[in-house]
Structure 1
Amino acid sequence: MAKGSCGNDACTNRFFFFFFLGTKGFVGYLCRKYTNKHHLIILMINKHENDDRTLSFNGLLNKFVNASHLSLNSSSLSSSSSSSSSPPPPPPPPSSSTTTANSAHTDQLPSSRQSSPHNKKKRKRPQRQYAPPSTYAHLSPIRDSIDYELICLFVGLNPGIATAQKGHAFAGPTNLFWPLLFESGCVTSKLSFKDDSSLPSKWQLGITNLVSRPTAEQSELSKQEMIDSSESLEIKIATFRPISICIVGKGIWESIYRFKTGKILPQASFTYGWQSPPFDFAQPIMMNVKSENHVMQSQHQLPRIFVVPSTSGRVAAYSRAMKSELWAELGSFINSERKKKKKKLLYNIRA
């Protein structure tokens, strides 16, 4: 028998014996006996990604058989391989050339992040168009929660549908106003929209709106309507003279800025928090304030202006942590002013 070949019976017996030891073990045996291409064949098996072991083994074995001048019955291999249950041993580490080829193949596949639903862009809802007052004429405006000389007056944009239906401020189920009010320390008790009327007397806080008529979304208000409403808002604030005002929504502050200056609010220089506008807003109206014992003329400075993002659940551009940080700064100011007013009240009582 010539070197590099074998008899049909002997070769077949060796095949079935080593096949049950595992496909890779058998190929390794053939490679060591008949050729020096053992490492190449194992790499071919590792690189093959077909889950069907029978097909992958037969395809690779046929290549080896053709190279070694062997003739084996592929049908017998299929029936024998289906009865094998032992998993193949772990393959040797691939060569650098194979690693490069595999990595190049991987780069062409879509990454898990691209296919993840969390990274897919959400389909935006179509924005509502301007709605005239007749659209929501069946809904009534809500009453302001306001009084004179409050520590802070919160200014919302306008009542939403849920707010108008319930008759209380910030009554939307996903609105964060009331949770942030408590978490920031502006109040020391958990409140809900039903407590809006008690804010002035119990907490020296108030709520009003830039536009009084209800809509489902801000886009249903015209920009000119928001600018024009800034005048009546300024008169209201000047009349009730709060120490500070909190603008709940950047769009409100943009309208006020446009009303006072005739210009668009510079976006590059804008930051949330305390504002230093280049104009006087809500100059307190001089008036006589009646007290129990005497009449005195009230003199007040301009209210300080603090701007926070909208607390509406529809506005998700800013994180909860960012909103909480801003509200905490406002809460510190409110508590500080509350202590000052308490000390002043005690001093007046003693005097």
Structure 2
Amino acid sequence: MTDVDSLQCLPSLPDLLEPGLSVIFCGINPGMRAASTGHHFEGRNNRFWRVLHLAGFTPEQIRPQDDHTVIQYGCGLTTVVPRATARAAELSRSEIELAGDAFRRKIGHYAPRYVAFLGKMAFSAITGARNIEWGRQAEPFGGAHAWVLPNPSGLNRAFDLDALVTAYREARVAIASTP
């Protein structure tokens, strides 16, 4: 079996969604470990679960194996592109753009109050927006308020833990204050 064949055999990472959530966190695509285990943000160096807890979205730090429990806190998880890669940079801009319409429909269907993009790359590719600022975006996405957060991946060295927690806490406060 070639490397390409083995990539195509990876199971897709299931969405953790239900209608009317407060926020859906959206990664650009699953990492290899997450796709192989079937659990979101499974990578050893991914700080998502720690940041989510420290920012106040969850009362305790969820383990990746218990990712499905995030729903009980009004949060959902999905990705723009279903194909797993070791790094998001392995995705082509056109692959992200093609996934954008289906993703916009998914957000419209589930109708969360907010969709939080984890990183600027996917949001830019899907919307065509340039010079994106962190935080709440002026235009809604799929009927939801759009927010852009720093990617919690350990590969993102531009944001230390404190900076991530501050950014995610700002989103949590805004989400809690939006009817």
The aligned residue for residue 328 of structure 1 is: 169
The Cα RMSD (Å) is 1.7
The aligned residue for residue 243 of structure 1 is: 113
The answer as to 2:73 corresponding to 1:203 is yes
Equivalent in 137, 149, 163 of residue 275 of structure 1: 137
Matches of 1:324 and 1:221, distance apart in 2: 27
* Pairs within 5 Å for 1:67-106: none
Structure 2: give runs of 5+ residues left out of the alignment: none
* Pairs within 5 Å for 1:191-340: 191-200=62-71, 202-258=72-128, 265-267=129-131, 270-277=132-139, 281-282=141-142, 302-336=143-177
Q: Which has the higher contact order (CA 8 A, sep 6+)?
A: 2
Q: List per-residue Cα deviations over 1:51-86 (Å, max 9, x = no partner).
A: xxxxxxxxxxxxxxxxxxxxxxxxxxxxxxxxxxxx
The answer to whether the 8 A contact 2:33-2:43 is kept is: yes
Give the 3-state SS of the residue equivalent to 1:182 in structure 2. helix
The answer as to 2:23 corresponding to 1:182 is no
Q: 243-252 or 191-200: which moved more?
A: 191-200
The answer to whether the 8 A contact 2:10-2:35 is kept is: yes
Give the 3-state SS of the residue equivalent to 1:137 in structure 2. helix
Structure label with greater radius of gyration: 1
The answer to whether the 8 A contact 1:272-1:307 is kept is: yes
The answer as to 2:12 corresponding to 1:136 is no
Residue 216 of structure 1: how far off its partner (Å): 1.0
Matches of 1:136 and 1:180, distance apart in 2: 29
Residue 333 of structure 1: how far off its partner (Å): 2.8
Residue 180 of structure 1: how far off its partner (Å): 0.6
Matches of 2:118 and 2:158, distance apart in 1: 14
Matches of 2:101 and 2:5, distance apart in 1: 23
Residue 134 of structure 1: how far off its partner (Å): 4.0
Structure 1: give runs of 5+ residues left out of the alignment: 1-131, 259-264, 283-301, 341-351
Amino acid at match of 1:185: G
Structure with a larger share of its residues in helix: 1
Give the 3-state SS of the residue equivalent to 1:239 in structure 2. helix
Amino acid at match of 2:53: F
The answer to whether the 8 A contact 1:185-1:335 is kept is: no
Matches of 1:174 and 1:162, distance apart in 2: 11
* Pairs within 5 Å for 1:133-172: 134=5, 136-172=7-43
| TM-score, length of structure 1 as denominator length | 0.48
Amino acid at match of 2:141: F
Matches of 2:4 and 2:101, distance apart in 1: 19
| TM-score, length of structure 2 as denominator length | 0.91
Matches of 2:177 and 2:69, distance apart in 1: 21
The aligned residue for residue 291 of structure 1 is: none
Q: List per-residue Cα deviations over 1:116-138 (Å, max 9, x = no partner).
A: xxxxxxxxxxxxxxxx9646113
The answer to whether the 8 A contact 2:13-2:38 is kept is: yes
Matches of 1:318 and 1:204, distance apart in 2: 25
Amino acid at match of 2:137: Q
Q: 188-197 or 224-233: which moved more?
A: 188-197
Amino acid at match of 1:272: W
Change over 3 Å in CA distance of 1:133–1:226 after alignment to 2: farther
Percentage of matched positions with identical amino acids: 27
Change over 3 Å in CA distance of 1:186–1:224 after alignment to 2: same
Matches of 1:167 and 1:231, distance apart in 2: 24
Alignment: residue pair count: 177
